[in-house]
Structure 1
Amino acid sequence: MKLNDISDNPGSSKNRMRVGRGIGSGKGKTGGRGVKGQKARTGVAVKGFEGGQMPLHRRLPKRGFHNPFPTDYNEVNLGRIQQAVEAGKLDVQAVVTQDALLAAGVISKPRDGVKILGQGALTAKLAFEVAAASKGAIAAIEGAGGKVTLLANAAASAE
């Protein structure tokens, strides 16, 4: 067998449709777009337009509230922090802050602060300075002998 003998199974791939290549091609002249107007042009789609009928997104009532300025936390589980400690990326003696987690590669980019979540086991005795933490995470950290300090200015600066 040679490289030039290799080919796909017959009928496994179709040639692409070449529009606007004459009336005999079946997709000539208007190229399957109908005639004239905005939608016959390239790059245009009138989304949500239902032919003058009141569109669905305007027929349905508005519900709830969308906060335009939400606080976007980096959520970190205790198991991920324990992995970083075991790998030697986090110093056990130093206070664990957002900058320390960023340097250790636990979080990829700083947001409005770090929220510690309680999934996984934490055996290291660590001191945290974070924007938020779940009740389960605080209980697990204090159970391992560590402490959690919640930063008041992290929530205030985000507002």
Structure 2
Amino acid sequence: MKGQRSRSGGYHKVGFEGGQMPLQRRLPKIGFYSRRGKLRVEVRLHELDLADAEQVDLDALKAKGLVPRTAQRAKVIASGEIKKAVKVKGLAVTPGARKAIEAVGGSVES
């Protein structure tokens, strides 16, 4: 047997292409996956109705499974309709969502 593999110490690095520029170096570097995005969650207005609680906070949303257990922050966005009055506590709220919550008799606390 002849060749590099039959010799002692004969190996090449993973991705080595015989002197040609390796694929992982030929391609451009693009972006990354932010770990921060996993911790923040958006909640739509109609999902507040699904919480079935008079006071909606992050713990209530987690208990109903509307947000992941790993979420650290949630923001209520004006998407969909809210039909019952709820008290939103400790969640970030967009201006449009705040108007919609207060229009049905609810309130928002920071």
Instruction: Give the Cα separation in 1 of the matches to 2:70 and 2:98.
Output: 22
SS at match of 1:57: coil
Structure 1 segment 54-73 matched on structure 2, within 5 A: 55=26, 57=28, 70=36, 72-73=39-40
| 1:97 to 2:57 alignment | yes
Instruction: Give the Cα separation in 1 of the matches to 2:64 and 2:70.
Output: 13
Q: Cα deviation per residue 1:23-68 (whole Å; 9 max; x = unaligned)?
A: xxxxxxxxxxxx75426xxxx336xxx628x84537xxxxxxx9x7
User: Aligned pair count?
Assistant: 98
SS at match of 1:123: coil
Aligned to 1:112: 72
Instruction: Give the Cα separation in 1 of the matches to 2:86 and 2:92.
Output: 16
| 1:147 to 2:107 alignment | yes
Q: Percent identity, aligned pairs only? A: 25
Q: Cα deviation per residue 1:2-24 (whole Å; 9 max; x = unaligned)?
A: xxxxxxxxxxxxxxxxxxxxxxx
User: How much has 1:137 moved relative to structure 2?
Assistant: 0.9
Larger Rg: 1 or 2? 1
User: How much has 1:135 moved relative to structure 2?
Assistant: 1.4
Letter in 1 for 2:60: A
Q: Please, what TM-score do these two structures have when normalized by structure 2?
A: 0.66
Q: CA RMSD in A?
A: 3.5
Q: Cα deviation per residue 1:73-114 (whole Å; 9 max; x = unaligned)?
A: 2211011222x15xxxx223xx21111111122112142211
Query: Higher strand proportion, which one?
Result: 2
Gaps of 5+ in 2: 6-10
Distance 1:128 1:74, change over 3 A: same
Instruction: Give the Cα separation in 2 of the matches to 1:137 and 1:112.
Output: 20
Q: Please, what TM-score do these two structures have when normalized by structure 1?
A: 0.48
Gaps of 5+ in 1: 1-34, 59-65, 151-159
Moved over 6 A (4+): none
Aligned to 1:22: none
Larger relative contact order, structure 1 or 2 (CA cutoff 8 Å, min sep 6) = 2
Distance 1:56 1:103, change over 3 A: closer
